Amino acid sequence: MELITRGAVITEPGNAVENKTGSWRVFKPVINYEKCIRCMICWQYCPEPSILKLEDEKTKKDTPAPKEALKKLPVVQIDYDYCKGCGICANECPVKAIDFVMEER
């Protein structure tokens, strides 16, 4: 890359993914899949966004769920490369399925 582009144009969309903001984290959200009802509210409110929605059949089936019928729904997964540990997901979770624990490195 040249030292500075003309007009400071950034030509690669979304290249902020190179910044691994997960290093900011002090507390870490951990999803308890035995409790998670897959309502997607955490995914909806993650500001990073660092909560992924996984829709492949294998993940949906293989991830534990409190009820068998819930295994038809997509699964949420936290991308710790980017999660800054704000805790909105843990706070908004209607079934308290996200533990918010001290980060250990």
Residue 40-79 contact track with another protein, rule CB under 8 A, x = bound: ----xxxxxxx--x-x-----------------------x
Residue type, 96: K
Residue type, 78: I
Residue 64 beta carbon to another protein: minimum distance, rounded to whole angstroms:
23
CA dihedral 76, 78, 27, 98 (to 10 degrees): 10
Nearest CB to another protein, comparing residues 10 and 64: 10
Residue type, 57: E
Residue 57 beta carbon to another protein: minimum distance, rounded to whole angstroms:
16
Q: Per rule CB under 8 A, is residue 24 in the interface with another protein?
A: yes
Q: Per rule CB under 8 A, is residue 17 in the interface with another protein?
A: yes
φ and ψ at 47, to 5 degrees?
-80, -10
